[in-house]
Every structure is written in C-alpha cells, then in structure tokens.
C-alpha cells in the first residue's frame, strides 16, 4: 500500500490539501491498485471519499472540490490481510472520545489475532477483516484520557509487525514507523508545509523536497507549530524491506538514504559478475527489470536492447487477485519485438520470479519471435518464503521456488539457463550488512516472530 499526508500552514485554496494528496497518491499508484481514498480535516470535521479502483477512477475533480480543509491523508491499497472489498478501503474514519480520526496504514501486523481477542473482551466490535481496524480500536481505547500521540505510543508497544501509519485528527497529522523500519515512510517539505509519504518520488511529484526518513520506532506529529518528534522504541536492529529495492518501490525514490535505481543497477552489475553467459544482447522485462538489466549489460560489456515492449496502459499484473487474471495480464502487458530478438542469443533480466507465470510466458514469446537462446537472469535470490509484513506473496505454495529447485524452475519456464543473484551479492549491492534488512522472503529468517 501507499500513504500520503499533508498539513498546510500556507495555502491558496481550501482544496489544496486534498489536491496535493491526490497527486501524491497518483505517484504512489504502483503500491496498490485495488482501492484509493482521501480524507481531509477542516479543523472540526473530517470528510472522506474512497472507493474501489485506481486513484483517478475513485477521486474525480468534483470530489476534490468538496474535500475542503488544510489537513489531508490518503491511501492506495492492495490487499494483504483482509479481503479485497469496499469495507476494507482506507483511510478509515471514525469518531472517538475526543472527536474524529482518520487512519491510513501500509504494512501488516503479525499479532492481530491476539489483539483482536483482547479488544473483544473489552467489548470492541469489528466491521472489517483488516488489521487497520484493530489499530483504530487500540487507539480509541488508549486515547480516552491521553493525547493522540500518547495513545499511539502505547499502541505501537502492543502492535507487532510492519507498519507505516498516518493518523489525522481534526488538527494534527501524525506518522509512525514500525520499530525495525520494515515499511518506508519519509518526511517532505513544501513551501513551509510538511508532508509524510511512503516514497520520496511522491514528494518530487508534488514539488516538495525530501527532509529525511521517519526513523524506525519514531512518532512524528505535525501541527500548527511545526514538526515534533518522539522516539518511542529503540530496536536493537533494523529490518528495512529489501524487496522495496528489488521490486516494490519506484526507481526514482530514495528510501533510507539508498536510491532505488542505483540499488537495482548495482544488483545487475553484481549479477553479471556472478554469471558468465555467452550471448548477443541483454534485454529486460520492463519496467521492473530495466534498471538491473542496464547494470548487467554495462558490467558484461553487452548491448542493452529493448526486446520486449510493454503496454503502458496495463497495470501491475501481479496485483490482480486471481491466477487467471494474472495469466491474461502477461499477454496484455508484454510483446516481443521480433526484429530485435530474431536469431539472437538473449539474456533476459527480471527483478524476481514469484509464481513463474511471467517468465514462462515471456520465454515462450521470445522463442516464437525467433530467439535462438533465452537465458533467464534474476536480480534477486529465489523467493521461497511468504511475506507477513505487507507484501502480497502470502501463499507459500504459490511460490515456485518453494516447491521446485533451480533446475526444475529452469525447465518449467523453458529457459536455456537460469541464474539467480546470491544473497551475498544482494547485500554487497546494498553496500550494507544482512542485519540492516529484512530479506525473509529469500532466507526464511524473519526479523520478528509471527503469530500462527
Ligand atoms: P511471476 O509471474 O513469476 O509470478 O511474477 C514475476 C513478476 O512479477 C516480475 O516481473 C516482478 O516484477 C513482478 N513481481 C514480483 N513480486 C511482486 C509483488 O510482490 N507484487 C507485484 N505486484 N508484482 C511482483
Ligand atoms: Fe520485504 Fe520480503 Fe521482508 Fe516481506 S519478507 S518485508 S517482502 S524483505
Ligand atoms: Mg516485472
């Protein structure tokens, strides 16, 4: 999911906060395409518009005109826990003892069952299956005689998991990042106004500048008087999601001081050092494989060509919830350029293999277009384990690398050879050690216990 929030001290018109949030979410659309929503506060009341679909399908100019107020938060969602339906859309807006509150969450709690049980004994009822509602209930409970940031501080002591949370009260914007910094969240500034966003690319889009990342375990409160910070938990380790760099985030974002494009390009270079394939050209599976393919081509001294063309009007196929839709999606999305690949030995670089659907189809496509050899090169290690921290690879039996070894996968996708990036090379590309990152989907070493 993607979150964006803004507090305007200086503004020209009443809809500026909502409009800026709209553009911010537009820039974060890759983080979720199932639903979108924007909530604004005018100081005494919170208004909300949300629905299923892309941000441009959900929020029309007429809606923005009605979303008046100087504070705003927004959310784009794809389901990880909770079903893909309208009750699970965000932001969640509710009344509590001290007024109204809006909540937008990226990530996934790993102790929801326990929390839900505990809350139920106090009489809480739940309308949705999403963990965001659990957070809302916790907040409501703890805020009875506390300020919202105190309630939030207690809340994040209870909530285990990965979260980048935005909370908007009638007059405050609050952001918090989980103690290990699994999910990203950064702070930006625009003409003296503060912004919180999942990725820095959203700041660029609205003309803001990146100030810094929210620290793991830090709560930031933005109000009339500016930005206040409170470090609530000091975790002994960090666990930034490495998959953000591999696939999820935009290459033009910088997360925890590492630019995503440069990280991917370096992974490609490392990969070329690890493989030694005799071929005529390097191509990428656009767009997610392109940065690493460029790094590969550069390091291997081979030409980079555009052998596959992408239909720009088709979204991320993976994000479609069913397998049938995913398969149709690949064909809709990618096509080989026969004039480029015919008669050639090809190294094809993609960022990752999840189910193998994409690679299998593309290898077939390239062969039909006349490629004589297709070598599949993957700029990450085999994805063997599910993610419990908010990235949708949740069903383990679907991960091809959890049931097949590399030779079997090579056969399944029909490639002449298959190479994955090693764990060591991946960390080398990040210029950092293993314990800075979460890489559980590759290693199975989860930085935090998961409730069964
Ligand atoms: P596969 O067809 O193997 O299931 O998916 C591989 C393709 O999906 C790759 O091109 C990769 O860019 C993309 N992909 C990998 N992981 C994810 C993910 O968690 N979410 C989405 N939406 N796409 C992914
Ligand atoms: Fe990211 Fe993988 Fe860890 Fe999930 S398991 S947070 S996708 S590195
Ligand atoms: Mg891809």
CATH of the domain at 107: 3.60.20.10
DSSP state of 351: S
Residues 198 and 264 occupy one common structural domain: no
Do residues 295 and 274 touch, judged by C-beta distance below 8 A? no
296 and 189 in a common domain: no
Q: Do both 258 and 150 map to the same domain? A: no
Q: Ligand 1 in contact with 70 (CB < 6 A)?
A: no
Q: Which ligand is nearest to the CA of 363?
A: 1
Q: Residue 207 Cα, ligand 3 centroid: separation in angstroms? A: 28
Q: What is the CATH number of the domain that holds 439?
A: 3.40.50.2020
- Measured CA to CA, the distance from residue 156 to residue 232 in angstroms comes to 8
Same domain for 228 and 314: no
Weakest mean pLDDT among 149-158, 324-333, 356-365, 378-387: 324-333
Percentage of the chain lying above the pLDDT 70 cut: 95
In a domain, 322, yes or no: yes
In a domain? residue 243: no
Query: Is 337 inside any structural domain?
Result: yes
187 lies in the same domain as 292: no
Q: Do 279 and 220 fall into the same domain? A: no
Residue where a domain terminates, one of 236, 262, 291: 236
User: CA 175 to CA 103: how far, in whole Å?
Assistant: 10
Say whether both 156 and 261 belong to one domain.
Answer: no
388/280 Cα distance (integer angstroms): 40
Is residue 241 domain-resident?
no
Identify the domain containing residue 262 by its residue range: 253-443
C-beta atoms surrounding 14 within 10 Å: 17
| Site of tokens 């909540």 | 103
pTM for this entry: 0.94
Report whether pLDDT(419) > 80. Answer: yes
Question: Is 98 in the same domain as 19?
Answer: yes
Q: Tell whether the model's pLDDT for residue 124 goes beyond 80.
A: yes
Q: Is 391 in the pocket of ligand 2 (CB under 6 A)?
A: yes
Nearest to 357 by CA among 378, 383, 331, 381: 331
- Each residue of 338-384: pLDDT tens digit? 999 999 999 999 999 998 988 999 999 999 999 999 999 999 999 99
Q: Give start and end residues of each alpha helix (H) in 13-164.
A: 16-27, 55-58, 61-66, 112-121, 131-142, 148-158
Last residue of a domain, one of 167, 201, 236: 236
Ligand 1 centre distance from Cα of residue 393 (Å): 9
Q: Are residues 85 and 221 in the same domain?
A: yes
Q: Answer whether 442 contacts ligand 2 (Cβ < 6 A).
A: no
Tell the residue nearest (CA) to atom 4 of ligand 2: 387
53 and 148, same domain (yes or no): yes
Same domain, 180 and 261: no
CA dist 8 and 45 (Å) reads 16
Residue 426, H or E segment: helix 423-430
Closest to 100 measured CA to CA, from 151, 172, 38: 172
Q: Which residues surround ligand 3, an ion (CB under 5 A)?
A: 288
Q: Is position 246 within any domain?
A: no
Query: Ligand 1 centre from 127 Cα, in Å?
Result: 31
- Which amino acids are annotated catalytic? 1
The pLDDT of residue 394 is above 70 = no
Which range among 51-55, 329-333, 410-414 shows the weakest confidence by mean pLDDT?
A: 329-333
Identify the residue whose C-alpha is closest to ligand 2 atom 1: 241
- Same domain for 200 and 347? no
- Quote the ipTM score: 0.96
Q: What is the mean pLDDT of residues 402-429?
A: 97
Answer for the pair 217, 231: CB distance below 8 angstroms, yes or no: yes
In this structure, is residue 354 part of a structural domain? yes
- Verify whether ligand 1 is closer than 6 Å to residue 354 (CB atom): yes
Ligand 2 close to Cβ of residue 243 (< 6 A): yes
Binding residues for [4Fe-4S] cluster: 241, 387, 438, 441
Q: How many domains does the chain have?
A: 2
Q: Is 221 exposed, middle or buried (0-12, 13-18, 19+ CB in 10 A)?
A: buried
Rounded to an integer, what distance in angstroms lies between the CA atom of residue 409 and that of residue 415? 9
Tracing tokens 């990428």 back to the chain, one arrives at 284
Distance of CA 153 to CAs 146, 220, 259, 390, Å? 10, 11, 30, 21
Residues 6+ apart with CB under 8 A from 45: 100, 170
Q: Is the peptide bond prior to 361 cis by the omega test (within 30 degrees of 0)?
A: no
Whether residue 450 lies inside any domain: the answer is no
Q: Which of 19-23, 128-132, 186-190, 386-390 is predicted with the least confidence, judged by mean pLDDT?
A: 128-132
Last residue of a domain, one of 205, 236, 267: 236
d(C-alpha 97, C-alpha 141), whole Å = 9
In a domain, 435, yes or no: yes
Query: How confident is the model over 412-441, as a mean pLDDT?
Result: 96
């Amino acid at each position: 999911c993607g979150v964006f929030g803004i507090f305007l001290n200086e503004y020209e018109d009443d809809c500026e906060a909502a409009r800026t949030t709209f553009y911010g979410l537009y820039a974060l659309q890759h983080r979720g395409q199932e639903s979108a929503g924007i909530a604004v506060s005018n100081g005494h009341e919170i208004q909300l518009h949300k629905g299923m679909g892309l941000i441009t399908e959900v929020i029309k100019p007429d809606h923005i005109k009605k979303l008046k107020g100087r504070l705003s938060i927004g959310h784009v969602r794809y389901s990880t826990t909770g079903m893909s339906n309208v009750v699970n859309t965000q932001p969640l807006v509710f009344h509590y003892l001290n007024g109204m509150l809006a909540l937008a969450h990226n990530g996934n709690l790993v102790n929801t069952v326990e929390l839900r049980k505990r809350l139920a004994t106090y009489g809480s009822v739940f309308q949705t299956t999403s963990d965001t509602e659990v957070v809302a209930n916790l907040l409501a409970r703890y805020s009875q005689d506390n300020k919202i940031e105190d309630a939030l501080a207690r809340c994040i002591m209870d909530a285990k998991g990965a979260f980048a949370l935005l909370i908007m009260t009638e007059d405050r914007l609050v952001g918090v990042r989980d103690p290990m910094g699994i999910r990203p969240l950064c702070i930006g500034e625009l003409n003296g106004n503060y912004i919180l966003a999942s990725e820095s690319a959203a700041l660029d889009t609205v003309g803001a500048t990146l100030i810094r990342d929210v620290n793991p375990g830090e709560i930031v409160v933005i109000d009339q008087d500016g930005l206040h910070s409170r470090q609530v938990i000091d975790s002994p380790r960090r666990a930034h999601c490495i998959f953000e760099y591999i696939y999820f985030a935009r290459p033009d974002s910088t997360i925890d001081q590492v630019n995503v494009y440069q990280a991917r390009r370096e992974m490609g270079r490392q990969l070329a050092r690890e493989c030694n394939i005799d071929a005529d050209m390097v191509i990428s599976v656009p767009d997610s494989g392109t940065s690493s393919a460029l790094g590969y081509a550069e390091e291997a001294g081979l030409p980079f060509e555009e052998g596959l063309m992408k239909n720009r009007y088709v979204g991320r196929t993976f994000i479609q919830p069913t397998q049938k839709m995913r398969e149709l999606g690949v064909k809709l999305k990618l096509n080989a350029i026969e004039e480029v690949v015919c008669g050639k030995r090809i190294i094809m670089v993609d960022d990752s293999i999840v189910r193998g659907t994409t690679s299998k189809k593309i290898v077939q496509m390239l062969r039909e277009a006349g490629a004589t050899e297709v070598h599949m090169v993957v700029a990450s290690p085999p994805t063997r384990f599910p993610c419990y921290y908010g990235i949708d690879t949740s069903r383990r039996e679907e991960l091809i690398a959890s049931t097949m070894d590399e030779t079997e996968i090579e056969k399944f996708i029909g490639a002449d050879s298959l190479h994955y990036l090693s764990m060591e090379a991946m960390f080398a590309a990040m210029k950092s050690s293993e314990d800075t990152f979460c890489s559980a989907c590759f290693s199975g070493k989860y930085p935090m216990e998961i409730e069964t």
